Amino acid sequence: MTVKPRYLVLLLFILLAGSDPIYAANKPVDPKILHVINRLSFGAKPGEIQKVESVGVERYIKAQLSPNSISEPPSLTRQLSQLETLNLNTVEIRNYLKAPPQATPEEKKALQKRGGKILQEAVKARLLRATSSNRQLQEVMVDFWYNHFNVYSGKGNARYWVGAYEQEAIRPYALGRFRDLLGATAHHPAMLVYLDNSQNKASRRPGATSRVNENYARELMELHTLGADGGYTQQDVIALARIFTGWGIAGSGQQTNGKSVFYFDPRFHDPNDKVFLGRTIKASGQAEGEQALDILAKSPATAHHISYQLAQYFVSDRPPASLVDRLAQRFRNTDGNIRAVLETLFQSPEFWDKKYFNAKFKTPFQYTVSAVRATGLEVNNTIPLSRNLEQLEMPVYGCRTPDGYKNTQDVWLNPEAINRRLSFATALGSGRLPLIGTANNSPKNKSINRVQPLDATQLINTLGNSLSPKTQSAIAASPPELKAALVLGSPEFMRR
């Protein structure tokens, strides 16, 4: 799907127009309300601004920090309940994909289809929740933490387990204690496969060669906890890798707890004492790994690293040091309570500094989800959204590198990316995006999908009448069928 030249001309018109607005809706909304919606959620949906106005900004933030207090749309609950594989744990997934003895070609083909279904349903669930959930801050934090503890679905059996990884290791702890989140990701089979710790083995047999793999140990410190400048050495990487030897995945005949295929195999664990970050860790099997995670979670370097990333995500690509320091202090004082750190962030003068309003450039995921939310359409078919994210080079669970997708402007703002966003905005704004359909992308009723172009005035009101005079003038001068597309493709809508 490509943008025709006339659409690019209209974009230039938006950027260059200088006349007074001749396409104005209602009066502008309080910028603080728009700011809190844009940062704590994936963007306004119809009626969202009015809800925040009625309850007040403080009560809105408080509710979002306690997602279990917020009821979900029945349609979302119903759609999630229809996803057969969504709530399967890794033991159940292994059984779900287990081939019968001497499987026929037809049975093997059916198993391949089952394998594909697991990932498809995980992607659909993520997109349904992001676009429709009322617990928006939770969804924002799932996006943040999944990128922080990224697992690529294209790596081995991780494609079967990334959905369970999000369900089991990310979602339950997104607003909880960092140490719990860290432990859940460290034990999860998806992470063990992705960063190769399932292959991290020491040998106790005399003369046998150990196969110590340092990948997870290195990324655990550089990305997940201390940060690249966190004060560790290569010797710490080696020691940590040896601490995690034997952390792997259960093979046939090895007992699990029935919920996870994680398995600690003492036969492949280095039995010696280790010195890690200046501390001696006595040989104690799996408990060594837990002690190492404790040390990392409590490190001041970890508090600073996590605080910087949160401030970058919620405030600015280059967050003020004063805010990062205050968040790090709160992190240390609360033993890594993520909710408490966010409370401090949302109450900070830096968060409410007007120079940071609408200053963050949306990632492709944020842009796509916010565009759908702004329309108010009830999504049934998420395939057009997942395909758009592939076009925008940000497929769900598709980041190959362990540092996850970036959330800064320099990564995502370029002419080709804008061109693709405009293509999506044109299809969505003109009513040609089949968001109502069955899972296989075949509309239940083709007439349902032949909708009229979206109402640009309604879109503008949903977004709080926050478009610049230049953009309003360009919209007013455009053909009716392009007005909504220009709202969704406007420079203002590209930011949050």
pLDDT at 4: 53
Mean pLDDT of 345-366: 98
Please, which pLDDT band fits residue 210 given cuts at 50, 70 and 90? confident
Q: Which of 8-12, 256-260, 286-290, 308-312 has the lowest mean pLDDT?
A: 8-12
The count of other CB atoms within 10 Å of the CB of residue 61 is 18
pLDDT higher than threshold 70 for residue 451 = no
Question: Helix (H, G, I), strand (E, B), or coil: what is residue 392?
Answer: coil
Domain range annotation of the chain = 5-28+361-488, 69-194, 197-298, 300-356
Q: Which of 185-189, 208-212, 286-290, 329-333 has the lowest mean pLDDT?
A: 208-212
pLDDT higher than threshold 90 for residue 103 = no
pLDDT at 44: 98
pLDDT at 252: 83
pLDDT higher than threshold 90 for residue 27 = no
pLDDT higher than threshold 60 for residue 8 = no
Tokens linked to 429: 């704004």
Mean pLDDT of 246-274: 94
One-character DSSP codes across 259-284: S--EEE-GGGS--S-EEETTEEE---
Cα 274 to Cα 51, 287, 301, 494: the distances in Å are 56, 13, 21, 50
Please, which pLDDT band fits residue 209 given cuts at 50, 70 and 90? confident
Name the amino acid, one letter, at 31.
Answer: P
pLDDT at 446: 46
Say how far apart CA 194 and CA 191 lie, in whole Å: 5
Tokens linked to 422: 């405009």
In terms of pTM, does the model score above 0.85?
yes
More confident residue, 287 or 6: 287
Question: Helix (H, G, I), strand (E, B), or coil: what is residue 286?
Answer: helix
pLDDT at 440: 40
Q: Which of 109-123, 193-207, 211-225, 376-390 has the lowest mean pLDDT?
A: 193-207
Q: Which of 32-41, 95-104, 405-414 has the lowest mean pLDDT?
A: 95-104
Average pLDDT for the chain: 92
Q: Which of 113-127, 158-172, 198-212 has the lowest mean pLDDT?
A: 198-212
Name the amino acid, one letter, at 211.
Answer: R
* Residue pLDDT, tens place only, 72-81: 999 999 999 9
**Beta pairing, strands 262-264 & 247-249:** antiparallel
pLDDT higher than threshold 70 for residue 281 = yes
> What whole-number percentage of the chain has pLDDT above 90?
85
Question: Helix (H, G, I), strand (E, B), or coil: what is residue 254?
Answer: coil
Name the amino acid, one letter, at 484.
Answer: A
Query: How big is the CA angle at 335 (ends 333 and 340), to the nearest 5 degrees?
Result: 70
Say how far apart CA 276 and CA 413 lie, in whole Å: 41
Say how far apart CA 323 and CA 355 lie, in whole Å: 15
Please, which pLDDT band fits residue 107 given cuts at 50, 70 and 90? confident
* Residue pLDDT, tens place only, 386-430: 999 999 999 999 999 999 999 999 999 999 999 999 999 999 999
* Residue pLDDT, tens place only, 133-170: 999 999 999 999 999 999 999 999 999 999 999 999 99
Mean pLDDT of 211-216: 97
Please, which pLDDT band fits residue 444 given cuts at 50, 70 and 90? very low
Mean pLDDT of 38-65: 98
Please, which pLDDT band fits residue 117 given cuts at 50, 70 and 90? very high
Q: Residues in the chain, how many?
A: 496
pLDDT higher than threshold 90 for residue 322 = yes
